[in-house]
Structure 1
Amino acid sequence: MRTQVGIIGAGPAGLLLSRLLQLRGIDTVVLENRSREYVEARIRAGILEEHTVRTLVDAGVGDRLQREGLPHDGIHLQHPGVRHHLDFPGLCGRKVWVYGQTEVTKDLIRAQLDGGPPLLFGVSDVSPEDVDGDAPRIRFTDADGTPQALECDVVAGTDGFHGVSRPVVAGAGGRTWERTYPYAWLGILADVAPSADELVYAWHPDGFALLSMRSPTVSRLYLQVDPAEEIGNWSDDRIWDGLATRFALDGWELRTGPVTEKSILPMRSFVSAPMRRGRLFLAGDAAHIVPPTGAKGLNLAVADVTLLAEALARLLHEGQPDLVDSYSDRALARVWRCTHFSWWMTSMLHRSGDDFDAELQLSQLRRVCSSEAAARELAENYTGLPLDR
């Protein structure tokens, strides 16, 4: 087998990279070790920045997003007795969209399988080789159990934190940074209309809570819990009671309904640098992870592959290596900005159990809610800073 760019991983990063390269006349093959059904069922993020929406629409995979996505002009910040709305268009001229990562993935897979480049599910034993030269390859076993070798000009590792690509890059040196947070999110999907028009980020003495949504009839909600907590300890009634307590506000009521999915999500920050080794390039969770509080994970992956697609097109069409040589530094500049913002949102909203920390958090929340300058800083970061190409 032969292609120009071999892509490992069929999450949003790998699929979008394939799409962007296809539009530039560059051949790709996407390899995924899971089944299509598994990939399309993974529950992930749901907030899209403006640059993400523009990228998907320009790539021809934004029709359903434009029909079904929910544009939001801001978020609510809450602490006991107070719920304050931040008006993003008024603060920074931008907004965000609610549209689940699962739906983005479905749209990209549908486009890929409808006359797009090859997308191979159920592969195994994936191994990138000879990435330090000009003719790398990816060895793998296809879904029928047949060993294969995919000869490439470039390999893109978009296979997540536990994938095979990052260890290959790390094997040539580099550095990692990591912070594990002392709390986790218990997340649920529920068949009930959202209880608020936009997301509510709530600080409470019992712990953080987030009210989000996936559609006008499906709510997505989160509770801060201990990372060692067992999901079996949380009945539906206990979850709804905890949410009602943390979102309590005079004159407002939390809607409840059937819980269709629940899980516990540990939280950490992780950055690996560089994001390249020879002809192997990392993008998305293969290179960095952020806690979900700042809604940056999917948006960072889209920013990565937008830069990478442009750089690879310049390399493969014009023979110019300048953009691939600067790709890692340019991508990491945004990664660190988003890593800081995600850490800041997480630190401001999650209870540590220390009363001194609690007073600092409340002071920061009051500052954001009362200062236009502080509110604008949050809005600019939340809605997505311009992509530096």
Structure 2
Amino acid sequence: GQKYESSRFHAVADNNRVLNVKISATNAISTALVQLLAASALAGIVFTATRPAFLNGMTAGKFMSIFMAMAGILPPLKRMTNVQSLLQRGIAAAQDVFAVLDEPCEPDSSTRPLDGLRQGIEFRDVTMRYAPGTPPALRAASFTCAAGKVTAVVGRSGSGKTTVAHLIPRFYEPESGSILVDGHALGEYQLASLRRQISWVGQDVVIFNGSVAENIAYGEMAGTREEDIIAAARAANAWDFIAQMPRGLHSPIGQRGFMVSGGQRQRIAIARAILKNAPILILDEATSALDTESERLIQEALARLMQDRTTLVIAHRLSTVEHAHRIIVLDQGRVLEQGSHEELLTRADGAYALLHRMQFSAPRGD
């Protein structure tokens, strides 16, 4: 793709060059025009002041006053030629800035606090689409995530699994239907209180440019005792590689964690979730694209993390959800099946059984 990307770069660079030449040409023309007008005005004043009709009442002092006044006006006039280009640049930049500032804030007018989870999370006929006119990501989906249990959501790519995970912390609002937490609509809870009860471990782990300790004890957890951070790292199977780093917990890991591997980033995220100790846990493809050893270590850490928590697991690999208390099978945003692993496998022609056969059927030998 080198030739293709090079041509794209040159096209953008040429367009940028043309626009800058236009700006420079406009500035040059306006500067020359203003100087020409100023010089013409000065010549006109000199010409008029030297006419016989004016000479009788014109003294040398008056003549020099007028001449110096005109000379003093020239520099401000020259500077005014740059005002237009500066204004246009400022207007263009302001449009981008105010487009962001004018975006509406997240709706958060409720005052009901959420302290723990006792009954669970229920989806009632939830329909969700990301933009008007696009196909729904969820279509009248109804299911329950019982408190203290593990609920898994499986299905093909594009079936709406991640959308389910995004709706619980209110990253998006459903188009219709309702999501209930402990019997109350999700929108009734104060946003900060709701998100304080949720730990999230996703496929794309968010790592900040700081030390390992700062990434584990992040946000409201900043200032946590080092002993507690180490305990969380041990529980996440992360302490082995952290202890080998030059400065241990205080070792920098770079922007987006480029100084550690993908599996190590995942374990740092799990340690963060363990340290937060929230009652609701969302795992969005937390073990995808990892090698066997990293997946085994992360699975062990997740098993500890999921104890006594209401857990929602989004997964492609069915091996990671076999022990879930309830499995939800999605297809094109619709709930096709619900039940435990054993119950769904008994339906030989069911969607879950088909997915299971596709993933676990071994090729026949000759």
**TM-score higher than 0.5:** no
* Pair member with larger Rg: 2
More strand by share: 1
Q: What TM-score comes out, normalization by structure 1 length?
A: 0.20
TM-score, scaled to structure 2: 0.21
